[in-house]
Each structure stands twice: as C-alpha cells, then as structure tokens.
Amino acid sequence: MDEPTPEAGEILVDVAACGICGSDLHFYTEGLHGDAELPVTLGHEVGGTVIQTGDGVDIEEGTDVVLSPHTPCMECWCCKDGLYNLCTNLNATSAKPGGYAEKVVESADNAITLPDGVSPEDAAIAQPVSVGLHAVRESPLGIGDSTLVVGAGPIGLGVVRFAKSTGAGPIFVSEPQESRQEVALELGADVVIDPTEEDPVERVHEETGTGVDVAFEAVGHQETFNQAIESTRANGHTTVIGVFSGEAEISPQSLVSHQRSISGSTSHQLGPRVTKEYNAVLRQLESGELDADRYVTSRIGLEDVVEDGFETLLEADNEERKILVCP
C-alpha cells in the first residue's frame, strides 16, 4: 500500500503498537459488516508518534499520542444529542488504513496526547481498558453492589479494575484461562470461577444467596450471555459488552419473573468528549497504578500478525491476554 498522506485536519502517525482486539478476530473469521470494500487494514488500538500534520492542525510533530479509533459524523441525531459513540454514520467520514501498518492517518481530533512517562507502545492498551471503564459508567453498579464479570480479556479486566474502584463487591469473575484469572485477582476480584470446572451461575447463587446486583457479559456467546443474566438477583441488571457474531436465545420469562433488566454498552466516549475516559486510563498508566505488562503477554512484528496474532488467539487453549503488533 502507498504511504498515507494527511489532509487538512489530519495527522500521520508512526505506529509504535496496535493491539489485537476481539472485534478484529471477529472480522478476520466472519468478514466485515456493511458495505466495506476490500482490502481493508484492520487494527484500532493504536499508540504512536505524530510525524506529519495536515493544514489546520496544532499538534506538533514528534508528539506521542494514542488514537481514538472512531470518527462520528457530527450530523446525525445521536451526535446532535452528544451520543457520539452511538453515531449512526460512525466512521463514514473516515476510510483510512488501520493500525496494522507502519504508519496511519487519523483525524487530529481523535488524537490524545500522552502524559510524560507513558510510552506510545504501552498506551495502545488505553482503548480496550477505556471500553471497560465506559461499561461500568453506563451500568447501575454502585458502592457495595455485588457483581459478576463473565470473561476476563482486556475489556473484562478493565471492568474488574473500575468496578473495584467504585467500591463494588464482592466481585466474581468467570474465566477459564489461568493467566487471566491471576490478573483478575490482582485487579480486585474476590472470587474467580473456572466455568470449565463448575457452573458460574450456581457458584454465584451459592456464595451470595440471592445472585449479584449487576453482571457484565464480555465474551459474546449465547452461553455466557445467559450465564450473566441468570447470575443476577431479582431486580438485577446485566450490561452486555461482548461482540456477538450472530443471534442469541434467551428466556424472556427469566427477565419478567425476576424483573431483571439488560442493557448494552458500546465503545467509549467519542467526539468532543473523547478524552475523559481515555485520560482516566492514561493517568493510571502515568502513576503506575495500571501496568501495561499485566495486560500484554506478547509483542509481535507486523509480518507475524496472522500466524502469531490472529491464529494464536483463536486457539482454544491459548494463554494470551493481549497481543500488541509492533511494526
């Protein structure tokens, strides 16, 4: 591909790292949605350095940044209501190469300058952690509320981290991968359940006597979706974050009989408000409270993105948490 050139209002970023996300795996295995034309370069968890700017950009070359991956249209009703992450034309104004590349062009409005001491490579984890933060903020979770997080990938681990910071507890985590279980405990989980060894719904109800106040589904499968719902107490709530490749069946009566509720949470703050959730994560990286190495298990070259990236993460018994592609 030709090297991209920034137009007015855009920046050219030398990519330090781009994380592999579950949605990238979904696109790799299931194909792209909508009218996207191939070839499309994937990758949206990008940290790097600004090396060229277009007209009207006040970011200096040499500035380390992390990129928010979505460009709201600013014209639809969601944008006019400030719901930028729900934009009905999200990314319609931007069809630039993705982050699995040496260089990437992005709107300057989507660049967040890094604090001193935070490397652009480590900052690549800010996007998935911000998704977890957004889910906690969108949920009704409060001080003293019990919760179950189903799935302890980078986003689920972000939920654990910020659920703990809200004063929630006890925090249950259902996760089969041992290395992710360990990090979940480090981040504040009180009980970790291996769903291949025991039923997480039964364990949660046994421990609480009622079910949890709030559950988070961060996997994207019918089984885990139902586990999250059934783990909640009467009048409990489930927030769904996982990316689903198809439909999922539930029992509506399980909601009606127990007055349970379900909501979705997508992405993180975008548009003019993009920095609030990102900055909370970046401050934790700056202080050392958030250690990128507790999330990142492998750093691979661009030429290895398929074999050592996508294919490795798709193996059922892999022990990876987050793989960074470092051109």
| Residue pair 314/25 in contact by the 8 Å Cβ criterion | yes
Whole-number Å distance between alpha carbons of 245 and 27? 9
Asked if residue 258 is part of any domain, the answer here is yes
Residue 78 maps to which CATH number? 3.90.180.10
CA distances to 11, 109, 120, 248, 277 from 273, in Å: 19, 10, 21, 33, 9
Residues 20 and 117 both lie in one domain: yes
Give the predicted TM-score (pTM) of the model: 0.89
> HEC string of 144-166?
CCCEEEECCCHHHHHHHHHHHHC
CA-nearest of 209, 304, 215 to 255 is 215
Q: Which range of residues forms the domain containing residue 35?
A: 10-128+268-325
Residues 163 and 253 both lie in one domain: yes
Query: What Rg value do the Cα atoms of the chain yield, rounded?
Result: 20
Number of domains composing the chain = 2
Whole-number Å distance between alpha carbons of 17 and 123? 8
CA distances to 17, 64, 208 from 117, in Å: 16, 10, 42
User: Does an H or E element contain 53, and which?
Assistant: strand 45-53
pLDDT digit string (tens) for the chain, length 327 residues: 888 899 999 999 999 999 998 888 888 888 776 666 778 889 989 999 999 999 999 999 999 999 988 888 889 999 999 888 888 887 644 445 589 999 999 989 889 999 999 999 999 999 999 999 999 999 999 999 999 999 999 899 999 999 999 999 999 999 999 989 999 999 999 999 999 999 999 999 999 999 999 999 999 999 999 999 999 999 999 999 998 878 889 999 999 999 999 999 988 887 766 678 888 999 999 999 999 988 899 999 999 999 999 999 999 888 888 999 999
Whole-number Å distance between alpha carbons of 318 and 314? 8
Residues 233 and 197 both lie in one domain: yes
